[in-house]
Amino acid sequence: MNPVARVKALLDDPTIKGVLGKGLLALVIKVGAAVLSFLMFVVIARAMDEAEYGRFAIGFSLAITLSVFANLGLGTAILRFYAQYSSAGQTRLAHGFVRASAAVNLLFPLAMGGLVALAAWSYGLVYPEQTTGFIYAAAILLPVVAWSEYAASSLRAFGYTLHSMAPRDIYWRTLLCLVMLYVITRHIRLDATEVLLLAAGILLVIVFAQFMRAAPQFLPAFREPSPQYDYPLWIKTSIPMWGAITLTSAAQQFDVVVLGFFMSPADAGPYFAALRTANILSLLLIAGNLISAPLIAKYHHNGDHAALRRLVRLLTAAIALPTLLGLGILALIGKPLLGLFNPAFVSAYSVLLILGVGFTFDAIAGPTGFMLQMIGRERSYLKIMAASYALTIVLQCLLIPWFGVYGAAVPNTLGLIFANLLIVRTVKATAGFDPSLLGLFARRA
């Protein structure tokens, strides 16, 4: 069967058609989120000088990375276990997991934020001449981001695609953009601390609204008279998910913090602008993962391997081909895009292309990371991500002092390529097919 016929056969599948309906909505939201995210970081850059923008970049990246750590993998776990238990009619186990995960997600991010604040206080005592206000602000933003991620994952598991994605992806970014545009028009200069606190305040209001929207699904779990708990399985499963998603986030965010440690906030700003711009290339992969995760878990646990293969191959084609086109477009308009942040940031154009190659390779591999976690190979995924990020961080620590921003960008891309090669190999060995773009056009299924 030729490639065109294969794609047509996939599209004729009733289940796949249903996925595409949700996927189209997710894609629209993610495209809007990518545009708004880009605009948000542009207007923030316009409201402060280069050094303050660098501090904002470091604080924001620190908060995002540690919020993923503080989430304990519960966002991914609820996508798996709620779908698994619901499809099997195990309502008491589903309710038990919702109750346990909600309680942990409320408390642990608060504790993590407190530790970051304590670290900033201690650092300020040792180095009183250093600015630490933006670290305190990052400590406040951290738990709010963790709560928003759990709220989004819960709503997604309950089947509310729009309400899971739109609040943080659309509403938060839109409101923050509008406030920052007002600041610019009033010729007000903000520092990194003020912007991070503003972002945390707006997101907290939105998270509260999300949990209110999810109340009809949460309340039955808390009213369940005899919920079941399978802590050994949940902990055994969630720890690898926790480690893997933390390492994935660190690979995409934490290099800004590492760069700021070895160099200066002014150096971190242009790199952050290039990283956020290159991140546009990952939006299709993110949308595909969000929609496919519950279905992958469902097909795998039901033993429907044919449907699983069809779903993954369709998603890979829908993700990889437009992303390849996007990389070409980014190469053409990358300099003007960076110039929107700050005319001086055009110097990071080469860094933008290097990072773009890594994100594109990630898309070509398909939705493999989430697939390993949804089919019970989360430990294999954790080992792969640990090895690839260890390679990344070691190379960055060695190369940044010598090569600056290139010492951060090149290891970032090499780490993504290395990880995806190992993940595709593991999926082939486990599921019996190649999930990458090359696998879609292979002669044999």
Using an 8 Å Cβ cutoff, are 359 and 320 in contact? no
* Residue 389 burial (CB count, 10 A): 22
Q: Quick one: pLDDT band at residue 251, thresholds 50, 70, 90? A: confident
Q: How far is CA 239 from CA 74, 401, 423, in A?
A: 9, 34, 18
Tokens of 334: 């990358």
pLDDT given for residue 20 in this prediction? 55
Neighbours of 280 (CB within 10 A): 21
Task: Indicate the pLDDT class of residue 443, thresholds 50, 70 and 90.
Answer: very low
Q: 435: part of which helix (H) or strand (E)?
A: none
Whether the per-residue pLDDT at 444 is higher than 50: the answer is no
Which of the four pLDDT bands, split at 50, 70 and 90, describes residue 139?
Answer: very high
Report the predicted TM-score, pTM, of the whole model to 2 decimal places: 0.85
Axis crossing angle, helix 14-46 with helix 50-70, rounded to the nearest 10: 140
For 90: left if phi > 0, alpha if psi spans -120 to 50, otherwise beta; the answer is: beta
What pLDDT is stored for residue 366 in this prediction?
86
Q: Are 59 and 137 in contact (CB under 8 A)?
A: yes
User: In angstroms, what CA-CA distances link 347 with 37, 80, 96, 136?
Assistant: 21, 43, 52, 30
Alpha-carbon dihedral 386, 415, 45, 179, rounded to 10 degrees: -50
- Flag whether pLDDT at 439 surpasses 60: yes
Rounded distance, CA 323 to CA 364, Å?
8
Query: Contact at 8 Å (CB) between 370 and 314?
Result: no
Closest of 307, 61, 29, 64 to residue 155, by C-alpha: 29
Burial of 300 (0-12, 13-18, 19+ CB in 10 A): buried
What is the rounded average pLDDT of the residues 86-110?
Answer: 89
The amino acid that residue 391 corresponds to is L
**Pair of tokens at residue 361:** 């390779």
DSSP 302: T
pLDDT: is 83 or 384 the higher one? 384
186: three-class secondary structure by DSSP: coil
Mean pLDDT of the chain: 86
Q: Quickly state the pLDDT bin for 9 (edges 50, 70, 90).
A: low
Place of tokens 């290395």: 418
Min mean pLDDT across 50-54, 188-192, 241-245 is at 241-245
> Does the pLDDT value for residue 380 go beyond 90?
no
The backbone torsions φ and ψ at residue 113, rounded to the nearest 5 degrees and listed phi first, read -60, -40
Under the banding of pLDDT at 50, 70 and 90, the label for residue 445 is very low
Question: CA 95, CA 98: separation in Å to the nearest integer?
Answer: 5
Q: Is 225 exposed, middle or buried (0-12, 13-18, 19+ CB in 10 A)?
A: exposed
Convert the pLDDT of each residue in 144-171 to its tens digit: 999 999 988 888 888 776 677 788 888 9
What pLDDT is recorded for position 26?
62
Query: Tens of pLDDT along 286-338?
Result: 777 767 766 777 777 777 777 788 878 888 888 899 999 999 999 999 999 99
DSSP letter, residue 263: S
